[in-house]
Structure 1
Amino acid sequence: MGLKGRFPTGLMNCTSITGVDLSNNDLSGPIPDNISHIIGFVTSLDLSSNNFSGEIPQELGNCSYLNVIRLDHNQLTGQIPLQLGLLDRLKTFSVTNNLLSGPVPNFLHYNVTAENYANNLGLCGKPLEACTGTSKGPSTGVIVGAAIGGVTFAAIAVGIGSVFYYLKVSMFEKSISKMKLSDLMKATNSFNKDNIIGSGRTGTMYKAVLEDGTFLMVKRLQDSQHSAKEFVSEMSTLGSVKHPNLVPLLGFCMANKERLLVYRYMPNGTLHDNLHTVDEVDTHLSTFVNGEFGDLGYVAPEYTKTLVATPKGDVYSFGTVLLELVTGERPTHVAKAPESFKGSLVEWIMQLSGNSQLQDALDRSLIGKGVDNEIFQFLKIACTCVVPNPKERPTMFEVYQLLRAIGEKYNFTTEDEIMMPSDNGDTDFMEELIVAQEVRGGN
């Protein structure tokens, strides 16, 4: 066609348009940041063989009807927005012959090959070569920390009213002296039911009071199948993760078959309380605190068949929490659903998604504050976490990356770093709250 100039923003007036093919022209300049407002209902976008420059706008990930994206043979730079991986109708994608770099998105519904990324400056990640420094994959600690970081940002993004202060502080604010099992028994009044804070699939949490008046929380794990060596290793990994909104794990205790976790006392209630009340408190999260992720409404469907906890099951549980945040609904009861609906929050979301009514799930109090696109994108991320097939769910680290990509627009991640121990051995580790004699024989 021989067209020159910039991207024609007047296309937003073509309300019935379903495809945009501007290929093989001499168009230049950036792709508009508000691309989703211009071609929101378009199913095919072909901008190949032009001279477009700048970064691919993140807003392109909001064009949920797109089946085809062709951006090859341009001068595009920067990173491919991770949000594009959430486009569930995408069938064709190509960015060959550009100047792109950085990690590529994880396309959840489309099999991208290396050919789709050919001839760029420095793209990396599956199906290309691993990105520098990530070939070993994220450690367990990073995944745990990433989950907490994701929830932290999510809470801010949807405005649940919590006040977060991101401070790089050590998890070990104050060492507690070594304790014997008998000390913890005394502090909980022999695990008296009157001291129970909460119970879940993994164990029961008790309020503990030391002789000096210090309050702690002690979680008594049930039916732990881990050997002493495995348990110590896992606790060391978990204890090395530091984040201001992660409940500090101060120590652990092993005696015969007993497995006890010791936390700093949190007086402001459970995760459920903080999600569904309006009090302004600093939120601290831990899947260990009260076992809520193991309770009804959070458990992945495959667990009822296998009774085996898996990382993808954790993603499902995490996704349910994200859905609570963005919908304002409880996991087992949906107030906005028709009276005849008796299913869970996840089942309601899947029903709305199948009827192209996903926007109806959003908490109305979140709409109209200038971040509607981000809120809907957040909802879509949550939906990918709770799909029935665990193989189709993203990893926790991928969820973190997607949430972080949204937050970077508002500088939410500048100080929100996941702090892991260095390799030089200088990091403080938790104290084992048990003497050697008790581990050997409990005498």
Structure 2
Amino acid sequence: MALSSITGFVALFVSFLLLGLRIDSEPTQDRQALLAFLSQTPHKNRLQWNSSDSTCNWVGIECDVNQSYVYSLRLPGVGLVGQIPANTIGRLTQLRVLSLRSNRLSGEIPDDFSQLMSLRSLYLQSNLFSGDFPAVLTPLNRLSRLDLSSNNFTGILPFSVNNLSHLTRLFLQNNGFSGNLPSINPLGLVDFNVSNNNLNGSIPTTLERFPASSFAGNINLCGKPLNSCNPFFPSPAPSPSNFPKTPVRKSSKKLSTAAIIAISVGSAIILLLLLLFLLLCLRKRQNRRQAAKTPKPAVPSAVTEVGTTSSSKDDITGGPSESEKNKLVFFNGGVYSFDLEDLLRASAEVLGKGSLGTSYKAVLEDGTTVVVKRLRDVSVSKREFEMQMEILGKIKHGNVVPLRAFYYSKDEKLLVYDFMAAGSLSSLLHGSRGSGRTPLEWDNRLKIAIGAARGLAHLHVPGKVIHGNIKSSNILLRPELAASVSDFGLYPLFGASAPPNRVAGYRAPEVVETRKVTFKSDVYSFGVLLLELLTGKAPNQASLGEEGIDLPRWVQSVVREEWTAEVFDVELIRYHNIEDEMVQLLQIAMACVDTVPDQRPDMQEVVRMIDDINRGDTDDGIQQSSDDPSKGSDGQTPPMEPRIPPSAVTP
């Protein structure tokens, strides 16, 4: 009896001891890893982790029931900046959920992430991560949701993604991935998105079940559910000799007398018609020669037709449609000397697929390089098309990309522009933001803003042309970063069924309702463009804090609730003494995006206001700073945040 009492006491003591250990447990190793991560990663003062409190009570931390390890780390939008330090998060080996979305984390994913073998969900979207697809993630075979969208990842997508056999949701949109799309086929994959990358080739059959929106914005991607893969220009129609011939049955019987007479009469008629046709052709050629000898009066038109040399076949057929098929229409005599056949023989490279058509870089055999825009969904007649082209061809300005020539046929509508080697503002501003990126400095941003404003103002006033499709990909740059406006005045070609400026982030509110563009809606789009220059954010990227919010409203909310400095691109923080200029340009942008069209300034007034910001007397009104952008006026590194009070801008 005494022995059983002692045994019972020992068991009760052990139970209390174990219970005490469970209550007082603390994930010591995970705590050290988290403190190391926080101490080595710059961040805003939003994380109040009290070192005297339990780790499991910290903001963004969840532990298991026994509080023996951290299984969830959620730190979205807390202002984390820079690279994830090695030997920190990778030590949380029992982690199930990791969310670091909507911060400013950059660089590559640390190698020690491969130790997170228990990870189920990883959310890294809306940061500045760069490099190839993180190979350290492919061994994490328990991962079910992976979101790397809206970063600066590049390179090809590896087939090893299929190692993530439990993956149900994969989001890779808004990056710079290139190459062919591999056959990704985890059995449980229900959500998939690779839109707005640089992928090419055909879509694998394993991914055809996903909607077209999952692949949109990849200019060289084709196949189901997108359009079928087609060549640059359609092949000419096969000649009749290439069609299969209908077999003719041999008749064992001789032809009747009536049949012989009918054939003879028919042959005579055909010969007579051929003779008359030849006589008409000879007469027509003689008339042409006489007309060529007679001086012609000058034609008061802005266009000059340049075509291929007329062949004997053209002379015989005499059909105007045949000759028109070989003609480009050049403006003002043109600066180029090539024809459509030269263009068809040129090597072509896709530059971009926009809302109105696809643009190609065409290199001719003589080395001439031009841009050919292949329009789609044109709904107007040939006469209306030519009238609009004549209006656009007359526009000449240093900040407007000139329209050099056009081609119209039933199946093809082509526009020819100068090639701008420096690319677009979109690629310069939103290109890879990895370690090798050269930041777009403030002086150049201001130079681009004034150049684009002058080009748009010229379209509005002397040209009386509404652009209708202002966006950063339509602001092209010369090597010295002088801005020129392109793709202007094309909206009348598409009718009401195809509204211009299909990139919703730039559309004025009234255009969404009325589907009609105006000079004031151009001003609104230009205001969004200025906000894009100031914030470094694309209007259509999903990193503005709330789903569905547009860039102007996001800027207004940040200015109203926080310091104005939060609005500006992180790349501008390193420059000194530009706060006032950034605020002035921000005020101009907010005036342009006023929801009431009549309250917006006209483009001439916008040009004047931006000119008032100028600090020098260079051609573009922008004086390049001679200061080292990484140093202040006293030679010290400037503070991380510009010193601008909250009241500096009124939304």
TM range (shorter): 0.3 to 0.5
Q: TM-score, normalised by structure 1?
A: 0.45
- TM-score (norm. length: structure 2): 0.32
Task: Specify the structure having the higher radius of gyration (Cα).
Answer: 2
